[in-house]
Amino acid sequence: MKGDISHRLLKEAEKIEVEEATLKEKIWMELKKTFVVAAPATFTRFSTFGVAVISQAFIGHIGPVELAAYSLCFTCLLRFGNGVLLGMASALETLCGQAFGAKQYHMLGIYLQRSWIVLFMSACCLLPLYIFTNPLFIALGQDEKIAQACGYISHWFIFIVFSFIISFTCQMFLQAQSKNMIIAYLAAFSIGIHIFLSWLLTMKLEFGLAGALFSTVLAYWLPNVGQILFGFSMLAFKDLCPIVKLSISSGVMLCLELWYNTILVLLTGNLKNAEVAIDALAICLNINGWEMMISLGFLAAASVRVSNELGRGNAKGAKFSIIMTTLTSLCIGFVLFLVFLCLRGRLAYIFTTSEEVAEAVADLSPLLASSILVNSVQPVLSGVAVGAGWQRVVAWVNIASYYLVGIPIGVVLGYVWNMHVKGVWIGMLLGTLLQTIVLVVITWRTDWDKQVILARTRLNKWFVPESREDNQNVAA
């Protein structure tokens, strides 16, 4: 009896100690939890994005037409497919994060397998875009030589699109459990191989564009070899329709964001001196993309932390995680804003030897730095939306901010006021800023206690009892 009383008193003391932790201790604990997810996620995204940028750097030394074609295909086609599949996969981020927080561990593997089915069907629907790229780009007013080269490159990109099915879903699956170091190791190995093969095939053996694209495809598929070892269960086919609905909402939300830059490049392709404009803009977007990998790491952290806390029923923990993740990402973004504002066009020579392109990059640098600052906050708020399951609401916010405000202003500034690329980019930046402000207001005014109830309702609705297949081992 005395032992039981002592044990209860000890537990009560521990509970009081946690509740009375100082703000400094709470911040430190939250930062540790955040960086456990954000650091590997950022590194993985750096490596994955680096594969495309390394390819661009080697292709840039093959010829200006090849560089423009690759830039157009990467920004428009690959990001289009990336947007669809990453968006569809983000439904898994919501479900796995909340299930892990609620300790429904055996459901993680089932959600993963359901997501594979949904993404495979989506990838098949995207195939016509990559098969008929040449006539499509000509119809959109792109230069005929560039469009013809795009038609060749896009056929290689089909293999990359299907690699996203395994890559994205396994990332979401492991991030929800804060176990994404294995993906970081695989990504590091892949980019190392890619650098060597790109040099060997393009510079040493002179296979040109085909050599660079072969190395790119291989680099995207290599990490999947380690990830594809996860098992499969027929329970994945049960209650598939609700997963499809949430996946579609997720896909629309993220696609509307990722396609925004695609439209920017397409609009640039119709301006005068399109080759220089596309090259300069593509270089700026790639530099911006590097910074975005940091923000996307914090997007993953925000999604995991919010979904885990909602699954646990901890509304205060979810709010505190949002504040800490947003402020941390903003501080990093502000430092990078100052760095790129000072560097201006010097980084352009990594991708090109053309002084004309480098001067165009220098002229766009203030807009690049501003985009980096805004993008340090916006993806984190999107991560909060994914963690809470707000994909449908954010999709409508994206439509209004990007497509009813940003793009029309960009067209007017770029074409009517003859500000060219700068005008188009200013309009797009204003749309992103508006979207960020709206998401801040939505997040600030949210009743997080109600979100806990909604998360519990969702998990109970799609819950499948443990079977003899021991799905819990999948999560382990």
Would you kindly state where each structural domain of the chain is located, as residue ranges?
23-475
- The Cα–Cα gap between 278 and 382 comes to 28
- The Cα–Cα gap between 295 and 328 comes to 10
pLDDT mean over 353-358: 77
Contact 427, 412 (CB under 8 A): yes
Place of tokens 């925000």: 302
User: How many helices (DSSP H) and strands (DSSP E) are in the chain?
Assistant: 19, 0
Poorest-pLDDT segment among 229-243, 330-344, 360-374, 451-465: 229-243
Q: Name the DSSP class of 352.
A: -
Place of tokens 């993309």: 289
User: Which strand (E) or helix (H) includes residue 114?
Assistant: helix 106-131
As a whole number of Å, the end-to-end CA separation of the chain is: 37
290-323 pLDDT, tens digit per residue, is: 777 888 788 888 888 888 888 888 888 889 999 9
Give the chain's mean pLDDT.
78
Outline where DSSP puts E strands in 91-200.
none
- The Cα–Cα gap between 87 and 310 comes to 21
Cα–Cα nearest to 294, from 340, 260, 361: 340
User: Which strand (E) or helix (H) includes residue 263?
Assistant: helix 240-268
- The Cα–Cα gap between 297 and 168 comes to 13
pLDDT mean over 280-285: 75
- The Cα–Cα gap between 390 and 436 comes to 15
Q: For residue 476, name the pLDDT band (cuts at 50, 70, 90).
A: very low
64-123 pLDDT, tens digit per residue, is: 888 888 988 887 888 888 878 887 787 777 778 788 777 777 677 778 878 888 889 889
- The Cα–Cα gap between 32 and 425 comes to 36
235-254 pLDDT, tens digit per residue, is: 444 454 555 555 555 555 55
- The Cα–Cα gap between 401 and 194 comes to 38
Poorest-pLDDT segment among 20-29, 247-256, 465-474: 465-474
DSSP per-residue string spanning 48-87? HHHHHHHHHHHHHTT-HHHHHHHHHIIIIIIHHHHHHHHH
